[in-house]
Amino acid sequence: MIAVTGATGHLGRLVVDELLARGVDPGTLAALARSPDKAADAAGRGVQVRRADYTERDTLDAALRGVTTLLLVSSDALGERVAHHRNVIEAAAGAGVERIAYTSILHADTSRMQLAAEHLETERMIRASGMPFVILRNGWYLENYTENLGPALEHRVLLHSAEGGLVSGATRADFAAAAAVVLTSDDLVNEVFELGGEPPFTLAELAREVSRRAGFEVEPRDLPEEAYAAVLIDAGVPEPVARMLADSDRGIARGELFTDSGDLRRLIGRAPTTMAEAVRGAVSP
């Protein structure tokens, strides 16, 4: 039995789709969700939907019964993720899970990005659990950009704080495909994959691609970290999120969201969707 947590989130849904597309019998697949009613589509396809809340240990113990392979999709609750993940890891070890995969962040062991700390601690807890593991160190989603281009298109300025740093961004669908390959490859054990798209791009190159597609110039403008965070807060982004985004851009400037490992391409067996292709899909001329 394969189980996927966060199965009602963007990535988790795509992983379930990908597993079914790869021929996994829906009866041997469990979609774990804190709100099972949001997983009606999976249930309709014969997938077992089980309630699993990262904050309620008993729901995790029950949901993981009979599970041999687990994908822990990282929680979206910044600052609470270690507690959430500890509950899942302890429940998985108790339930006899034979292999656990986890969606971490690129270079979790060396990155100085704020976001990396909770991922690194989760990786440590997984290793300490003794369960065989696969760490999927995902790079930036291209959707972080393509789903948030409204202000840049409106003001014709793409603000950032990443200098000329390179981003090895890839689509959620490609990261989901990599996760599905891992979940269905029992021989992948105690491996760490650094997953990123190709070719890498700077924020100036992203702005150029958006301009080409939009038919007018969108100017890239690099701001100091504090100034960038202040603009985001002014625009209504909650302060912790704004600070995390500005901090992440500083990580990009340091090269922490770049990889040339080729791991994503190798796992999915094809070239990942490029930034230019994703922009073409997101911006109407």
Ligand X SMILES: NC(=O)c1ccc[n+]([C@@H]2O[C@H](COP(=O)([O-])OP(=O)(O)OC[C@H]3O[C@@H](n4cnc5c(N)ncnc54)[C@H](OP(=O)(O)O)[C@@H]3O)[C@@H](O)[C@H]2O)c1
Supply the minimum distance, in Å, between the C-beta of residue 77 and ligand X: 5
Give me the DSSP letters along 58-104.
HHHHHHTTT-SEEEEPPPS-TTTHHHHHHHHHHHHHHHT-SEEEEEE
Q: What contacts 153, CB < 8 A, 6 or more positions away?
A: 210, 214, 218, 283
Interface residues toward ligand X, by CB under 6 A: 6, 8-12, 34-35, 38, 52-55, 73-77, 84, 103, 138, 140-141, 144, 172
Supply the minimum distance, in Å, between the C-beta of residue 59 and ligand X: 8
Is the Cβ of residue 36 or residue 211 nearer to ligand X in the bound state?
Answer: 36
Is the Cβ of residue 133 or residue 175 nearer to ligand X in the bound state?
Answer: 175
Is the Cβ of residue 95 or residue 211 nearer to ligand X in the bound state?
Answer: 95
Helices (H), the chain: 10-21, 40-44, 57-63, 81-95, 114-129, 143-146, 150-155, 172-183, 203-214, 225-234, 239-253, 263-268, 275-282
Nearest partner of 76 among 56, 54, 108, judged by Cα: 54
Supply the minimum distance, in Å, between the C-beta of residue 76 and ligand X: 3
Is the Cβ of residue 59 or residue 69 nearer to ligand X in the bound state?
Answer: 59
| CA atoms of 242 and 230, how far apart (whole Å) | 8
Encoding tokens for residue 50? 């089980």
Nearest partner of 263 among 162, 179, 202, judged by Cα: 179
Supply the minimum distance, in Å, between the C-beta of residue 207 and ligand X: 19
Supply the minimum distance, in Å, between the C-beta of residue 230 and ligand X: 22
Cβ-closest position to ligand X: 9
Supply the minimum distance, in Å, between the C-beta of residue 19 and ligand X: 15
Is the Cβ of residue 83 or residue 186 nearer to ligand X in the bound state?
Answer: 83
Is the Cβ of residue 140 or residue 228 nearer to ligand X in the bound state?
Answer: 140
Angle between helices 114-129 and 81-95 (to 10 degrees): 20
